[in-house]
Chain A
Amino acid sequence: MGAGSEGSASGAGAKVRLGVFKLASCDGCQLQLLSCEDELLALTEHVEIVSFAEATSRPDDGGPLDLTLVEGSVSTEAQREHLQEVRARSRFLVTIGACATAGGIQALRNGRDVGELLRVVYAQPAYVDTLAESTPVADHVPVDFSLRGCPIDKGQLLELIGALLAGRKPAIRDESVCMECKRSGQVCVMVAKGEACLGPVTHAGCGALCPTFGRGCYGCFGPKEGAQVAALGARFEAEGMDAETRRRRFKLFTGWAPAFREESER
């Protein structure tokens, strides 16, 4: 443990001050912290939970935070203001999951007429505070690091926190699901079963879960940088998929990420 070392978030002896905040989301990513059943109590020897509404009733002291985890997308004006306050007191802000990192499933509403949608949905639209689009955190404040996934992988979350405590860079691989899939010895579901699989263009991190269960990846970790998304879409159509189904495949949990959005609008 590098407490007190140069790049570390904590001074010698001091605990890292942690804040966990939620915007529009399902709570599933912050839950991964509570799902670290074997590590949670040990972690709290090094980390002080300053703000985490789902886990503690201790009032937030409002002071500076060393590590801030933000779950969810920005979809109301109140959330945008809240996010700015959180950023102002945070040293290292990390978005956790597809909503915070890419806009999430609720970004499917983007591009629709929100006034119309509100009238459709609520008897009293005046009571509902909503922005025109559901957007990722990075559209509003600077983000220091992003964990992907719907939900995030708790192994990656522990790696991130451990790296921060030690003052080093998190060791999180930048590669596609295909690489994880090959390493785990799976038979390719696209080649062997003809399943449409987003693995070639999706960021790794899940351990190639969907192919392991005999189905195609649905892209919940979002597009890998530089992925040839259009080429994969063309391949789907060459295999007999209609254009509407192809668009839907890319328009899901990370559908607002530019590379997937482009393919779903093509």
Chain B
Amino acid sequence: MSEQNGGGESERTYHVDLMTRVEGEGRFFVHVKDGAVLDARLEIFEAPRFFEGFVRGREPDEVVDIVARICGICPVAYQVSASRAFEAAFGVALPEPVRALRRLLYCGEWIESHALHVFMLHAPDFLGYASAVEMAADHKGLVEQGLRIKKAGNALIEALGGRATHPVSPRVGGFWKAPSKETLRALAGDLARALEETEEATRFVATLDAPDFTPDYVYVALEDGARYPIEAGDRIVVSGREPVDVARWDEVMEEHHVPHSNALQARLKDGTPYLCGPMARLHHHAEKLHPRAAELMREVGLGRSEGNPHRSIVVRCVETVHALAEALDIVAGYAEPEAPAARWEAKAAVGCGASEAPRGLLWHRYAVGADGWVADARIVPPTSQNQARIEDDLRGMAPGLAEMEHGAATELCEQLIRAYDPCISCATHFLDLRIERG
């Protein structure tokens, strides 16, 4: 898919017209002349789907169903961030067993999404295969292990939500129905096995050679008290800056409409690109990991500030161990709640909510009218926050590319982008409705 064109020896372009082993449709383009980077773009050409427009005039629970459809890989993240925004607007607090259930559901999504990325999308880059299926010819055990881990995550979402993709049970305030104790207990065996298998896989993945590349990142992650941030959190922490309330995130972060993209790019107000996702969460919150995950981190020699994006595969493995270990704890301590959801009433209000999607911070804001219907919506997904950072990384890599064979250099660019676990389907749906008001 790549080719060299342009002028003489000192001018090179690297591009791939349809990136593979990523979610959604994107391409990239890097143009280097006389050692200087003229252009580095991640282009998002996935068709726009206009979600913020569709949720206008809908009831909050309908919005939870609708925004799930933004992403087939991380629907729970969308359902939960939206629910939290409405709960903030209406002053709803989740009773303890329901809060734990939401975290359990979200652990399921981390497990399936991380396992998909680690074993099926990313690992083939390190081992030199075009796909997990081809990798299975020589590494069958590893691929089967990955599939079993992924299945344990999906089984968790199915038990709590009805199905793994676009679950039907989550709603504002909790769930339509809470699972029985027996339903959850039946999952424990597979979760325990998946935990051991993920630990084993992490030890292997940590030995894989990664290209050497360590940019200077500004890390951004949600903060949820003493818990590793997953499904909740009221503050956002930013390297070298003051923490920000979730309700004020749009005062600190700014989105730009760049001509080559159907998505908006987010940066800090001073123009700084930032990184969200597994590496940012680990950097800010490593001490909050489950003891099983913390122990594994020490064992494989992973530091909390792993600055090499190619090594995010190891961080994803450690987070998967955390999610599995925590899921087992929640299952063991589960008592059925009196009601599956907190009671609430819609009113005219504005609410913001955030959660940590597998690939990073996912922020929602809704304005609800006196009729209880949504009047305005804004959604900032992780990939549009990471997009400017990805382009900076491509620029940073460019000097080294010139010394490489052209095909290998192009492949390295694609691997860098893949390491971010971009969700391009997510990133395209964001209409800047402020333009209408302006």
Partner among B1, B163, B435 whose Cβ is within 8 Å of the Cβ of A59: B1
Expressed in whole angstroms, the Cα–Cα distance for A129 and B261 within the complex equals 11
Interface contact B54-A105, CB-CB below 8 Å: yes
- A35 and B154 form a contact (CB under 8 A): yes
Q: Are B425 and A56 in contact (CB under 8 A)?
A: no
Residue of B nearest to A47 (CB): B133
Does B379 count as interface, using CB distance less than 8 angstroms? no
Give the docked Cα–Cα distance between A133 and B253 (Å): 33
List B residues 12-51 near A (Cβ within 8 Å).
Answer: 18-25, 46-51
Q: Is A241 positioned at the interface, with any CB of B under 8 Å from its CB?
A: no
With a cutoff of 8 Å between Cβ atoms, the chain A residues found around residue B66 in the complex are 105, 252
Question: In whole Å, how far is B193's beta carbon from the nearest beta carbon of chain A?
Answer: 13
Shortest beta-carbon distance from B113 to chain A in Å: 10
Q: Give complex CA distance A34, B47 in Å.
A: 23
Interface residues in A7-65 (C-beta closer than 8 Å to B): 22-32, 34-35, 37-38, 40-41, 44, 49, 53-59
The contact string, 1 if C-beta is below 8 Å from chain B, for chain A 92-113, is 0000000000001110110000
Residues on B with beta carbons closer than 8 Å to the beta carbon of A56 = 20-21, 130-131, 133-134
- The residue in chain B whose Cβ has the minimal distance to the Cβ of A39 is B147
Interface secondary structure of A, over-half rule = loop
B168 interface residue (CB < 8 Å to A): yes
Residue of chain B at shortest CB distance from A59: B1
B95 vs chain A, min Cβ distance (A) = 18
Contacting pair A210 B168 (CB below 8 A): yes
**Beta-carbon contacts of B52-64 to A below 8 Å, as 1s and 0s?**
0110011000100
B47 & A79 in contact (Cβ 8 Å cutoff): yes
> What's the interface size class on B, roughly?
35 or more
Interface size, A (range): 35 or more
Cβ A49 vs Cβ B176 within 8 A: no
A58 touches B65 (CB 8 A): no
Q: Which residue of B lies closest to A122 (CB)?
A: B257
**When the two chains form their complex, are residues B163 and A117 in contact, meaning their CB atoms are under 8 A apart?**
no
Known contacts A31-B165, A41-B143, A54-B21; decide if A128 and B70 are in contact (CB<8 Å): no
| Minimal Cβ-Cβ distance residue in A for B140 | A41
Closest to B151 in A: A37
The answer on a CB contact under 8 Å between B131 and A37 is no
Asked whether any CB of chain B lies closer than 8 Å to the CB of A140, the reply is no
**How far apart sit A212 and B432, CA to CA, in the bound complex (Å)?**
38
Bound-state CA distance A117–B48 (Å) is: 12
B168 lies within 8 A of A215 (CB): yes
Stretch in contact with the other chain, from B71-79, B237-245, B311-319: B71-79
Task: State in angstroms the CA–CA spacing of A30 and B71 once bound together.
Answer: 12
Residues of B within 8 A of A104 (CB): 69
B396: interface (CB < 8 Å): no
Which of B54, B75, B131, B433 makes the CB contact (< 8 A) with A108?
Answer: B54
| Chain B residue at smallest Cβ distance from A131 | B47
A179 to B62, CA, bound (A): 25
B147 x A105 contact (CB < 8 A): no
Q: Which residues of B from 399 to 438 have beta carbons under 8 Å from A?
A: 425, 431-433, 435-436
Interface string of B102-146 (1 = CB under 8 A from A): 000000000000001000100010000011111010001001100
Residues of A within 8 A of B259 (CB): 124, 127
A41-B144 contact given A128-B48, A151-B166, A213-B168, CB 8 Å threshold: yes
A-B contact count (CB 8 A): 172
Are B47 and A23 in contact (CB-based, < 8 A)? Answer: yes
Task: Find out whether the CB atom of B177 lies under 8 angstroms from the CB atom of A109.
Answer: no
Residue pair A57, B130 in contact (C-beta under 8 Å): yes
Residue A156 interfacial (CB < 8 Å)? no
Cβ 8 A contact of A105, one of B25, B69, B148: B69
Residue of A nearest to B428 (CB): A24
Q: Say yes or no: is B150 at the interface (Cβ < 8 Å to chain A).
A: yes
Q: Which of A23, A32, A212 contacts B165 (CB 8 A)?
A: A32
Whether A26 contacts B163 by the Cβ 8 Å rule is no
Q: Are B21 and A55 in contact (CB under 8 A)?
A: yes
Residue in B163, B433, B436 whose Cβ sees the most chain A Cβ within 10 Å: B163
Partner of A34, one of B62, B120, B124: B120
> Is the C-beta of B169 less than 8 angstroms from some C-beta in chain A?
yes
Chain B residues lying within 8 Å of A130, measured Cβ to Cβ, are 47-48
Q: Which residue of B lies closest to A22 (CB)?
A: B25
Q: Report yes or no: B70 in contact with A57, Cβ–Cβ below 8 A.
A: no
Q: Which of A174-225 contact B (CB under 8 A)?
A: 206, 209-210, 212-215, 218, 220
B124–A57 contact, CB under 8 A?
yes
**Which A residues are in CB contact (< 8 Å) with B23?**
27, 54
Do the beta carbons of B435 and A120 come within 8 Å of each other?
yes
With a cutoff of 8 Å between Cβ atoms, the chain B residues found around residue A44 in the complex are 133, 136
Taken together as a complex, chains A and B put the C-alpha atoms of A4 and B147 apart, in Å, by 31
Q: Are B62 and A248 in contact (CB under 8 A)?
A: yes
22 of the cross-chain contacts (CB-CB < 8 Å) are: A24-B46, A27-B73, A31-B165, A34-B116, A35-B164, A40-B147, A41-B144, A41-B147, A54-B22, A105-B49, A120-B433, A122-B257, A124-B257, A127-B259, A130-B47, A130-B48, A151-B72, A209-B168, A214-B340, A248-B58, A252-B65, A252-B66
Closest 8 CB pairs of A and B: A28-B72, A56-B131, A58-B130, A37-B151, A24-B47, A37-B147, A26-B72, A121-B431
| A residues in contact (CB < 8 Å) with B | 22-32, 34-35, 37-38, 40-41, 44, 49, 53-59, 75-76, 79, 104-106, 108-109, 117, 120-124, 127-130, 150-151, 206, 209-210, 212-215, 218, 220, 248, 252-253
Known pairs A54-B20, A106-B47, A151-B166 / 6 extra A-B pairs, C-beta < 8 Å? A27-B71, A27-B425, A28-B165, A56-B20, A75-B47, A121-B50
